[in-house]
Amino acid sequence: MTAIAHTSIAGAAKNRVQLPSSGPGDKARQTSVSFDIPDLDQHLNGGTWTNALHEVRCSLARDFACAAGFALGLAAQFGKQDARRIFWVIDPAASIDSGLPFPDGLSEYGIDPKAMVFVRPITLQDALWSADQAAKCSDLSAVIFQVKGNPKPFDMTATRRLMLRARESGVLVCVLRQSGAEEASAAATRWHVEIMPSGPDPDFEHGPGQTRHVQTLERNRHGRTGQWTLSWNPENRAFEDGTAKTQTTHRVRRIHASAHRPDSPVEVGQVVDFECAS
């Protein structure tokens, strides 16, 4: 699975604003980061909460790579900037239809592959426990919990726990729902992702241009819902409006010729396999 979308860490810091706490249980004020897309930021009431639970889902398995890229983009831009490690927990049912992010893809979009920690439990209960424990760790930048479908154990109570963990630790927590239907949760936002034809490449007439996604904001606790076409700009490492009239022209970073490639793949971070460790 190729990493498709990540976001700018440098650009995110200057767009942070403080939002008031949503309740007496919050230990810190909520922090928000904007997309720098006016209409989208307006719907989000200025930006996306960072120390909160968000959900990214796709209805079809073919769109999972796109959804995973968008989730990684949120983690890269909205995660804690003083803690670069990202914790990725995989539901065992989800790993059958998907692989791990491609190391070179992560590096291309500003994420150090060695900063990724993948946890592959043997049961869904173990995966839920791992995500819950990781969300309490303030030393992490973000936690991604990949789950397939709509399993009963991952209910409203489980999402509320993750939301509370995120508020207390200041860590962004993202549920990456693979081939899942829309359902109620405690997430601050829920995004539905679909792939769409890429934009034109001015330097490669018959080849694909930048990847584009249709992002539907299905749930937003602090503003309105809506739908946008977004693309990823690898040069400034930021999301941008993917419509043809407003999209910025930028070159596609193509794969190097085989003679100029390294002789071995880039290493990824630690992979924790419960089955092998037990």
Kindly report the pTM of this predicted structure.
0.79
pLDDT in tens, the chain (278 residues): 434 333 332 333 334 433 333 343 444 456 788 888 999 999 998 888 889 999 999 999 889 988 998 998 888 888 887 788 999 999 999 988 888 888 877 876 678 888 899 999 999 999 999 999 999 999 999 999 999 999 999 999 999 999 999 999 999 999 999 999 999 999 999 999 998 888 776 666 666 777 788 999 999 998 899 999 998 777 777 788 888 554 555 555 555 555 666 666 666 676 666 655 44
pLDDT of residue 48: 87
pLDDT of residue 46: 87
Q: 85 with 140: CB under 8 angstroms?
A: yes
Residues 6+ apart with CB under 8 A from 62: 195
Closest CA to 227 of 235, 218, 236, 216: 216
Q: In which order are the strands placed within the sheet that holds 271-273?
A: 238-241, 226-233, 212-220, 189-196, 53-58, 172-178, 142-148, 86-90, 116-120, 271-273
Q: Residue 196 corresponds to which tokens in the numbers above?
A: 């769409």
Instruction: Name residue 145's amino acid.
Output: F
Q: Residue 200 corresponds to which tokens in the numbers above?
A: 């034109």
Residues 6+ apart with CB under 8 A from 150: 177, 180, 181, 183
Strand pairing class (48-49; 30-33): antiparallel
Cα 219 to Cα 147: distance, rounded to the nearest angstrom: 19
Helix (H, G, I), strand (E, B) or coil at 214: strand
pLDDT of residue 182: 94
pLDDT of residue 100: 82
pLDDT of residue 3: 42
Write down the domain spans for the chain. Answer: 9-198+207-248+263-277
The C-alpha torsion from 152 through 160 and 3 to 192, rounded to 10°, is 70
How many CB atoms are closer than 10 A to CB 214?
16
What phi and psi, each to the nearest 5 degrees, are found at residue 272?
A: -100, 110
Q: Residue 242 corresponds to which tokens in the numbers above?
A: 């993917």
Give the architecture (CATH level 2) of 9-198+207-248+263-277.
3-Layer(aba) Sandwich (3.40)
Cα 41 to Cα 47: distance, rounded to the nearest angstrom: 5
pLDDT of residue 4: 35
> Within its chain, how far is the Cα of 202 from the centroid?
29
